[in-house]
C-alpha cells in the first residue's frame, strides 16, 4: 500500500472518530441509551424496597375523599400526621409538599397546630424536613413559622431526562450565588445516618455527592416495596388508639417517612422507567421518587456507573476502531462485525444491570454510525475509481457480463501473471497489403474501424477478450481474464462463425472502396499459456504468451495454404467434444514445431448451444454462406 493510500486511510479514520464524537452529542443516540437502560431496569426488577429504612405516606384519592376541604386547609391533618409519626418512632419525616403560605390572618389555629406538631416531633427526636421548590422559576420556600421549628429545608425539584423520564436525581442543587443545598433524599440520608439535629454539618457528609456541579445519580427503580411500607395519608391524619399506634410503629419506627401528593389529580406525577408499586404504569408520584432516591442512596447494592468517564472520547476511539475494521475487511464482514459489536455491547448492558452496573450503550452506537458513512464513502470512491480503471482497461475488449463479474470480484482476476488453460484466436484480412496500398489513408482507417467494431463485438459477445490489434489482425483470448477452461474452445468457435457471418454483411456494405469483398483467416488453438499484465511502468497490456499463442498464430497462417477461412487445432476439437462436427483437413508442419499438427475446420453444428458468457441473448440462426475460394474445392458450412 502506497504512502498516499495510507495517508488517505488515516484521514478517514480521523474523520470517523470526529463524526462519532459529533453523533454522540445528538438526542437520538441518548434516546437509544435511555431505552436500553429502561429495559434493563424492567428486566432486573425485584428485591425488597423495605431493606432500607424508608416508608411513604401518600395523599391519595382516599385521602382527598376523606378530607373534603381543600388541601391548603389541612393544617390540622398535617399536624396529626407528623405527631403520630413522631410518637410511632419515625426518625425523619420528609414533607414533600411546600408549606409556603401562612393562614395566620384567616385561620391562625391551623398554623399554630402545624408549628406545634413540628416542634413536638423535634423534641421527641424526630427530624422534620420541609421541602422547597423553584420549578416555576420562583423560589417557593417553607414559611418561616414552620421552617424555624424544623430540622431544615431540602430541594424537591426533579430533573427529567430523555422522553421526560426521571431516571436520575441531583443530590446537590447549586443556586445562582454558588451556594449548594441538598436534595430531599440526601438531607434525609444525612439525618438518618448521623443522627444530627439539623443540616448544619451537611458540607462534610458525602462530599463526593456535591463534588461536581450538576452531577446526577441514578435512581434504582428495581426494588419492590416491602408490604406495609407505603400507606395512605388518611391512615395518619387522625386520632389513633394504642393498637393503631403500634401498627404504625411497626411500619415507620427508625425510618424516614416521606409524606406528599400521591393522587394523579394532584398533577405531581412523573414518568419513570419502571414503577415498582404499579408495575403496569410508567407514571409515579414525586413523593415515591424521592423515597426511591433515598433508598438508592442508602443501599450498598445501588446502581453505579459502569460506563466511560468521558463518553465522547470513548465514542471517538470506537469510531476509529470501527473505521479501521471497515477498511480492513469486506463490507459484508464489516457489517456483521459491527452488528455483533452492538449486539454484544447491548447484551452486556442488559446483563450488567443485574450486577448493579449501568453501562452506556451510546458510545459504540456513535462509533458505528460515525464510522460507516465516512469509511463507506471512502470505499465507494476508491471502488468507483477502481471500476473506472478496470472499465478503461477492459470495456472495449470484453462483454459487459464478463466486465461486471470482474468488477464484482476483482480478486478473481490475477493481473500479475498466472498459468491457465486458454483458447487463443488469431484473425486477419487476406490480401490487406493490396487494400492499404491502393486506398487513401483515411479510407483504410475508416474501413478498419468498421471492421474492428464488428469483429470485436462478435468476440466479446461470445465471452472472449480482445488482447490486441495488430495492423489488420486481431488476437483474442477465451478463458481469461475470467478463467473458464471448459467453455473457452466453444466460445472461440462460436465467435469465429459470428465473425465470418459479420464479414459477409460487411462485404455488402463495401467498407473498402474498390474492394467489394474481404476475406478472412481465423486460426484457433488451446492449451496452457501465461496471462497477465505485461509491459513497462508507462504502458501495460493484459495479454497471453507462450507456445499456445505461437501455435495459434501459425494455424491462422495455414488458412492461406488450405484456402479455408477457419482452422482449428486438434486440441480445440478435443475440447469441443461432441458439441460440433469438425472435419480433419490434414497434418502440417509449422515453424517452431518438430512434429506435424493436425488441423480441422467446422463442418456443421450438431446442436448449436448458446455461447458461454454471451453478453446478450441471440436468436439461433444458420451460418451464412461465404464465397468459396476459386482454388479451393472444399465447401465450408458457412
Q: Strands, E, within 507-589: which ranges?
A: 520-535, 540-545, 566-569, 580-588
Q: How distant, in Å, are the alpha carbons of 61, 116, 179, 499 from that of 318?
A: 51, 61, 39, 59
Residues of the chain with pLDDT under 70: 1-2, 47-51, 100-107, 175-178, 211-214, 305-311, 389-416, 482-486, 537-538, 540, 604-638
- Residue 638, pLDDT score: 39
What span, in angstroms and rounded, lies between the C-alpha atoms of 297 and 304? 11
**Is-contact 69 110, C-beta < 8 A?**
no
- pLDDT tens-place string over residues 26-44: 777 778 888 888 888 888 8
What span, in angstroms and rounded, lies between the C-alpha atoms of 284 and 513? 97
Nearest residue to 406 (alpha-carbon basis) of 589, 613, 627, 264: 613
What span, in angstroms and rounded, lies between the C-alpha atoms of 133 and 10? 52
Tally Cβ neighbours within 10 Å of residue 574. 11
Q: Look at the domain 408-605 and name its fold.
A: Alpha-Beta Plaits (3.30.70)
What span, in angstroms and rounded, lies between the C-alpha atoms of 379 and 385? 10
What span, in angstroms and rounded, lies between the C-alpha atoms of 299 and 560? 102
Alpha helices (H) along 55-160: 61-66, 75-88, 108-123, 144-147
Question: How many helices and strands (H and E) does the chain possess?
Answer: 18, 22
- Residue 636, pLDDT score: 36
Could you give the 3-state DSSP secondary structure of residue 133?
Answer: strand
- Residue 191, pLDDT score: 93
**Residue ranges per domain, the chain?**
3-24+306-389, 53-189+219-298, 408-605
What span, in angstroms and rounded, lies between the C-alpha atoms of 404 and 400? 6
**Is-contact 206 186, C-beta < 8 A?**
yes
- Residue 616, pLDDT score: 44
Q: How distant, in Å, are the alpha carbons of 372, 479, 544 from that of 420?
A: 39, 8, 10
What span, in angstroms and rounded, lies between the C-alpha atoms of 83 and 258? 14
C-alpha cell at 34: 435511555
Which residues, 6 or more positions from 323, have their beta carbon under 8 angstroms from its beta carbon?
12, 13, 16, 17, 371, 374, 375
Q: How distant, in Å, are the alpha carbons of 163, 270, 271, 276, 585 from that of 281?
A: 15, 11, 9, 9, 94
Amino acid at each position: 500500500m502506497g504512502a498516499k493510500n495510507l495517508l488517505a486511510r488515516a484521514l478517514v479514520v480521523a474523520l470517523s472518530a470526529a463524526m462519532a464524537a459529533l453523533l454522540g452529542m445528538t438526542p437520538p443516540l441518548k434516546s437509544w441509551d435511555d431505552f436500553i437502560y429502561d429495559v434493563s431496569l424492567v428486566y432486573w426488577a425485584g428485591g425488597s424496597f423495605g431493606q432500607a429504612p424508608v416508608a411513604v405516606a401518600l395523599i391519595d384519592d382516599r385521602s382527598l375523599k376523606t378530607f373534603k376541604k381543600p388541601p391548603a386547609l389541612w393544617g390540622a391533618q398535617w399536624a396529626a400526621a407528623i405527631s403520630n409519626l413522631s410518637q410511632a418512632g419515625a426518625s425523619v419525616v420528609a414533607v414533600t409538599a411546600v408549606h409556603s403560605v401562612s393562614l395566620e390572618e384567616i385561620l391562625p389555629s391551623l398554623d399554630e397546630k402545624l408549628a406545634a406538631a413540628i416542634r413536638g416531633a423535634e423534641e421527641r427526636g424526630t427530624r422534620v424536613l420541609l421541602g422547597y421548590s423553584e420549578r416555576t422559576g420562583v423560589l417557593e420556600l417553607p414559611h418561616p413559622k414552620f421552617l424555624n421549628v424544623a430540622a431544615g429545608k431540602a430541594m424537591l425539584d426533579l430533573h427529567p431526562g430523555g422522553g421526560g423520564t426521571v431516571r436520575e436525581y441531583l443530590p446537590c442543587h447549586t443556586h445562582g450565588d454558588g451556594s449548594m443545598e441538598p436534595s430531599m433524599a440526601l438531607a434525609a440520608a444525612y439525618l438518618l445516618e448521623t443522627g444530627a439535629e439539623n443540616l448544619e454539618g451537611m458540607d462534610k457528609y458525602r462530599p463526593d455527592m456535591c463534588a461536581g456541579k450538576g452531577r446526577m445519580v441514578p435512581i434504582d427503580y428495581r426494588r419492590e416495596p416491602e408490604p406495609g411500607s407505603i400507606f395512605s395519608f388518611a391512615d395518619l391524619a387522625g386520632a389513633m388508639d394504642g393498637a393503631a399506634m403500634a401498627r404504625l410503629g411497626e411500619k415507620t419506627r427508625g425510618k424516614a417517612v416521606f409524606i406528599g401528593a400521591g393522587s394523579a389529580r394532584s398533577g405531581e406525577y412523573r414518568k419513570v422507567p419502571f414503577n415498582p408499586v404499579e408495575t403496569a404504569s410508567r407514571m409515579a408520584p414525586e413523593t415515591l421518587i424521592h423515597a426511591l432516591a433515598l433508598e438508592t442512596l442508602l443501599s450498598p447494592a445501588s446502581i453505579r456507573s459502569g460506563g466511560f468517564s468521558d463518553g465522547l472520547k470513548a465514542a471517538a476511539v470506537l469510531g476509529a476502531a470501527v473505521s479501521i475494521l471497515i477498511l480492513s475487511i469486506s463490507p459484508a464482514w464489516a457489517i456483521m462485525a459491527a452488528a455483533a459489536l452492538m449486539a454484544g455491547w447491548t447484551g452486556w448492558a442488559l446483563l450488567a444491570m443485574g450486577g448493579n452496573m449501568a453501562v452506556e450503550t451510546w458510545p459504540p452506537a456513535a462509533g458505528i454510525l460515525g464510522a460507516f458513512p465516512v469509511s463507506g464513502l471512502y470505499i465507494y470512491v476508491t471502488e468507483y475509481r477502481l471500476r473506472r480503471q478496470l472499465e478503461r482497461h477492459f470495456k472495449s475488449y470484453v462483454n459487459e457480463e464478463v466486465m461486471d463479474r470482474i468488477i464484482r470480484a476483482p480478486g478473481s482476476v490475477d493481473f500479475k501473471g498466472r498459468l491457465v488453460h486458454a483458447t487463443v484466436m488469431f484473425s486477419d484480412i487476406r490480401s490487406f497489403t493490396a487494400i492499404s496500398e491502393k486506398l487513401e489513408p483515411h479510407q483504410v482507417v475508416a474501413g478498419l474501424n468498421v471492421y474492428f467494431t464488428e469483429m470485436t463485438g462478435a468476440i466479446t459477445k461470445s465471452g472472449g477478450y480482445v488482447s490486441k490489434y495488430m495492423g489488420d489482425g486481431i488476437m483474442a483470448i477465451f478463458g481469461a481474464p475470467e478463467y473458464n477452461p471448459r467453455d473457452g474452445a466453444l466460445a472461440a468457435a462460436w465467435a469465429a462463425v459470428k465473425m465470418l457471418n459479420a464479414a459477409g454483411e460487411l462485404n455488402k456494405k463495401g467498407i473498402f472502396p474498390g474492394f467489394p469483398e474481404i476475406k478472412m483467416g481465423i486460426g484457433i488453438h488451446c492449451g496452457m499459456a501465461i496471462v497477465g499484465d505485461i509491459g513497462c511502468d508507462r504502458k501495460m497490456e493484459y495479454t497471453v504468451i507462450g507456445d499456445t499463442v505461437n501455435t495459434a498464430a501459425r494455424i491462422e497462417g495455414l488458412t492461406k495454404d488450405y484456402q479455408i477461412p477457419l482452422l482449428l487445432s486438434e486440441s480445440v476439437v478435443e475440447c469441443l467434444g461432441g458439441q460440433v462436427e469438425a472435419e480433419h483437413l490434414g497434418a502440417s508442419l509449422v515453424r517452431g514445431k518438430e512434429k506435424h499438427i493436425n488441423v480441422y475446420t467446422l463442418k456443421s453444428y450438431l446442436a448449436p448451444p448458446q455461447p458461454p458468457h454471451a453478453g446478450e441473448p441471440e436468436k439461433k440462426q444458420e451460418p451464412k454462406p461465404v464465397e468459396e475460394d476459386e482454388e479451393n474445392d472444399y465447401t465450408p458450412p458457412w
